[in-house]
Chains A and B, each alone.
Chain A
Amino acid sequence: MLELRGLSKRFGGVQAARDVSFTVPAGRISSLIGPNGAGKTTLFALITGFHRPDAGSVVFDGAPIDGLPPEAIARRGMVRTFQIVQPFAGQTVRDNIAVGAHLRIRSRRAALAKAEEVAAAVGLDDRLDMDAAALTVAGRKRLEVARALATEPKLILFDEVLAGLNPSEIRDVLPLIRAIRDRGVTIFLIEHVMQAVMSLSEHTWVLNQGELIAEGAPQEVVRDPHVIEAYLGKGMAARVGGREQAHA
């Protein structure tokens, strides 16, 4: 579905992505994890056309898409959400979602109808006429999901869609993400909330300082000493490992 080939990007002195290659399989939920500043969001921006890679290419649905602007990529069926939610403030929830719906639908009436349908699917149907700026954090996250979904994508990239939510809100959103996958949409997410990644995704990649350092099933990846070191600092792997052995 989505293939990254040797993607690299440098901002001044910072190597934000270094020769990153992997393939996101169709119809599943995959994820990308890594400590703060690992370059996860930059990688999303490279994939979705907000930044141009210095080297490497991105293949989506069989065709190269690097160099295309974000709107062209969205038209091909890949949309992203933003970590810092970006509602069209001052517009209603319905209008917000309709902007997404308009990607495939010209008629205003039909786009508004589609917006209501999507709102119902994500649990925003009781807030359709509310100003998007007045939504709670959880509500805004749902709105991000709804707008993306309204574009009828093949692949959605979620940028920390669970960040900032409390445990009960996370419990509410998880089935929503699975339901989207069950509609046939491939999902690739960046996540900080480890627990969510473990229960959601079938495959995960770990990024550190712009480089892939591990991949595999989430349960295995989090035991990888490289990964533990990346998250917690040098020397931690041995200690954590030692403790686990003591438990065993």
Chain B
Amino acid sequence: MRPLVVLAVTFALIGLAPFAIASDYWLNLVIMTLYAALLGQAWNILGGYGGQFSFGHAAFFGTGAYAVAVLQVELGLNPWLGLAAGGLLAAGVGAFVGFCTFRYGLRGSYFALVTLAFAEVLRILSNSVWFTGAGVGILIPLERGAASFQFVDKAGFFWVIWGMALAAFATAWWIGHSRFGAQLMAVRDNEDAARALGVDAFRVKMAAITLSGFFSGLAGVFYAQYFLYLDPYIAYGPAISVESLLVPIIGGMGTIFGPLLGAAALQAVAELTKEVVGEAPGISLAVYGTLLVVMVLFMPRGLAGLGARIAGLGPRARRRRAARLEARNA
């Protein structure tokens, strides 16, 4: 099936959730899965398709989250406008980080470390200035109602995160089927060769990190409105950066459905851990870390890669492989 069809069907099916699921517990799980998928797809745009591994996506997430919260609390801005502001500011932070790093040819592990440092700088700043509430955090006053982006029932939140995730996944589809995406993946696979063929690697990477920052910022906005509380550690702490990269790594980097698979798998594991061990501090992150090690060691292509390998046992793939062998021998 064509990816676009699969994408449409998948999101249509997920869209049935608020009608089919009566329990708030289960609907919340679906919402959190979509939220994780959005975080993961944001990272995937830069890391999976662009090959630039960020360890500091919290810098974008936190900016989106604080933007909507601070503008609301300090300036009384409607959170729906804050949504746009959060996304754009996060995109701006993305562009700034991208300019500072890509402009000077930072790649690989160095890029990862610098993104982490940017997130840490923002965490310390948000811990020091007054308008973020510093270490105490910021509380968005309760004002239930769709107009204030605080829905009375979970279905409202569901549709917001559904729409955000759909936009991110549609963007990923576009990357797989456009000149921009072809150039981005070329830069990922071999930057020098791409440049020799006329690809403006700097511009392409800038676009990727800006888009990535934008969607990460949207996730931050959603988080702020859903939980109505932020502090520097939640917004800019390493947990979000780790979750952002873990989701596509589990699901499969550089694939459109990887982040969705990864988000679902991660939710399942998190719930299972809660069942088995209880909600002891640290245990869920310890499991995440173990997953990260295991995936990189044994399944570097993620669940999607595993799917492809299983599909590779089917008759069609076998024919394709035979044709490939023949071509090689010819």
Contacts and interface: CB of A to CB of B under 8 A. Distances in A.
A71 B199 contact: yes
Contacts of B309: none
A241 B327 CA distance: 48
Q: Which 4 A-B pairs have the closest CB atoms?
A: A74-B198, A86-B193, A88-B189, A103-B198
Contacts of A142: none
A112 B312 CA distance: 25
A79 B193 contact: no
B120 to A, nearest CB: 32
Contact of B186 (A74, A99, A107, A108): A99
Given A74-B198, A88-B193, A100-B197, A111 B324 contact: no
A69 B201 CA distance: 10
- Chain A, interface size: which category? 35 or more
Nearest to B191: A86
A95 B201 CA distance: 17
Interface of B: 177-179, 182-183, 185-186, 189-190, 192-201, 320, 324, 327-328, 330
Contact of A108 (B182, B190, B193): B182
5 contacts: A71-B198, A71-B200, A88-B190, A89-B189, A127-B327
B182 A98 contact: yes
A97 to B, nearest CB: 10
A189 B178 CA distance: 33
Interface in A147-165: 147-148, 150-151
A81 B330 CA distance: 25
Given A89-B189, A91-B185, A106-B179, A99 B196 contact: no
A88 B186 CA distance: 6
B182 A79 contact: no
A130 B200 contact: no
Contacts of A91: 185-186, 189
Nearest to B180: A102
Interface string A57-75: 0000000000001110011
Interface in A124-145: 126-127, 129-130, 134, 136
A175 interface: no
A114 to B, nearest CB: 12
Nearest to B301: A90
Nearest to B176: A108
A62 B268 CA distance: 64
A34 interface: no
Given A88-B186, A91-B185, A129-B320, A99 B199 contact: yes
